[in-house]
């Protein structure tokens, strides 16, 4: 679970970092010259905003996938753990039954040996 949470945080940071880098590059690429007319300035600002909005949708989509992936991974881990516990419980029961059988056989052999010794001594 901790590993999944760590992966989740790493993915979030990675996506946020990529978006921040993209926003910085976009701002640099679409720098508005100081001597630009109001009409050109407005056009360039719209272009910059349009690019940033379209770029912002990608991280939102990626970040939206993260909870579903986390939930699926968590469910998978729980199922695997439950299956492991069931297998472990079954193995322990089998082992306990085998130990009881071995103990009973040992007792029977010991009793038979005692009886044999008693019969031989008499």
pLDDT value for 34? 80
DSSP state letter for 35: T
Count of structural domains, the chain: 1
**CB neighbourhood size of 1 (10 A):** 10
Structure tokens at 67: 């909870």
Mean pLDDT of successive 10-residue segments in the chain (122 residues)?
Answer: 74 78 74 81 84 74 76 88 95 96 96 92 78
pLDDT value for 87? 95
pLDDT value for 116? 92
Radius of gyration of the chain (CA): 36
Element of type H or E holding 66: helix 38-121
pLDDT value for 81? 92
Range of the domain at 94: 2-121
pLDDT value for 83? 95
């Amino acid at each position: 679970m901790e590993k999944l949470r760590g992966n989740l945080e790493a993915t979030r940071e990675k996506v946020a970092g990529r978006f921040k880098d993209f926003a910085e590059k976009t701002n640099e690429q679409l720098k508005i010259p100081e001597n630009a007319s109001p009409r050109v300035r407005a056009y360039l600002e719209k272009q910059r905003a349009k690019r940033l909005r379209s770029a912002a949708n990608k991280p939102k989509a990626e970040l939206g996938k993260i909870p579903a992936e986390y939930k699926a991974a968590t469910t998978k881990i729980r199922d695997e753990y439950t299956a492991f516990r069931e297998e472990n419980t079954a193995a322990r029961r089998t082992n306990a039954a085998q130990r009881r059988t071995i103990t009973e056989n040992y007792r029977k052999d010991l009793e038979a040996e005692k009886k044999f010794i008693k019969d031989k001594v008499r």
